[in-house]
Amino acid sequence: MPNRHHSRRLSPQFRRLSLTNDQLHRLLSLSQNDPSLRDVHDVVTIMINTGVRPGELQDLLWSNVDIRRSRVLIPNYRNNRCVGRYVPFGAKTLQTLKVLHDREPASEIVFGASAHRRINRVSRQLRVLGRETSIGPISLSGLRHAFITRLMTCGGSVDSLSTICGYKPGNSKFLSTLEQRFECAARDQARIENDWQERWAVVAPALLRNSPRIS
């Protein structure tokens, strides 16, 4: 007898599908002005600008958010030692983080005490948006892959990719310390938001006029 839970999982092709810039613009325009999609807008904004994994975003603590240095610590404990990584963020992510903090100032978790439930709800809402609009299939993993695509398209280095996304670092002869790797990654991450702002200024007016309401 087949496992019903297993049969309902998303296919690998769906999970790994990356979104184009036009699809991301449309997704943000749909969620920006709809109160029921507030969490969708917050999750999409953070993931496409930082490349964090859904589980990492779900477990993110305010104590690991360094506003002064514009970075978050993604912890990874091995043998009772934290060997995590720092992920840089820019103005758009900072703005979203401030909004989240204002909503639940007493919470230690960025997405609140019910973070797991909220992230799961966002995942379901993304699937609905993908079906009911012309955007196409959307998944949380696809948002992370969209960040990776944008990073490399904007000229980001392999070192930056490994630093931000937590992949095995390459053998760079020029970046000898973790701090140097982070500084390089932060510069490459900033390119994404600069490129994004230029594109958004061009396409946003038309998208906002033509965006349908999602019931």
Q: What digits encode the pLDDT tens for the residues 130-171? A: 888 888 889 999 999 899 888 888 888 888 888 888 876 554
pLDDT recorded at residue 211:
44
Q: Is the Cβ–Cβ distance between 62 and 105 less than 8 Å?
A: no
pTM as predicted: 0.76
Q: By percentage, how much of the chain surpasses pLDDT 90?
A: 41
Residue 21 CA neighbour count, 13 Å, CB half: 17
pLDDT recorded at residue 58:
95
Predicted confidence band at 189 (pLDDT cuts at 50, 70, 90)? confident
Q: What digits encode the pLDDT tens for the residues 28-41? A: 999 998 999 999 99
**Largest alpha-carbon pair distance within the chain?**
56
pLDDT recorded at residue 15:
43
On the question of pLDDT at 1 being above 70, the answer is no
Closest CA to 147 of 10, 48, 215: 48
Instruction: Report, as an integer, the average pLDDT of 86-106.
Output: 93
Where is pLDDT greater, at 206 or 193? 193
The first and second tokens of residue 195, run together, are 């490129």
Q: Is the Cβ–Cβ distance between 20 and 115 less than 8 Å?
A: no
Predicted confidence band at 179 (pLDDT cuts at 50, 70, 90)? low
Q: By percentage, how much of the chain surpasses pLDDT 70?
A: 72
Strands 71-74 and 85-88, bridge-based pairing:
antiparallel
pLDDT recorded at residue 181:
66
On the question of pLDDT at 16 being above 80, the answer is no
pLDDT recorded at residue 151:
85
Q: How far is it, in rounded angstroms, from Cα 33 to Cα 21?
A: 19
Q: What digits encode the pLDDT tens for the residues 32-68? A: 989 999 999 999 999 999 999 999 999 999 999 999 9
Tell me the domains of the chain and their CATH numbers: 17-209 (1.10.443.10)
On the question of pLDDT at 186 being above 70, the answer is yes
Closest CA to 27 of 112, 188, 136, 177: 136
Predicted confidence band at 200 (pLDDT cuts at 50, 70, 90)? very low
pLDDT recorded at residue 214:
37
Average pLDDT of the chain to the nearest whole number = 78
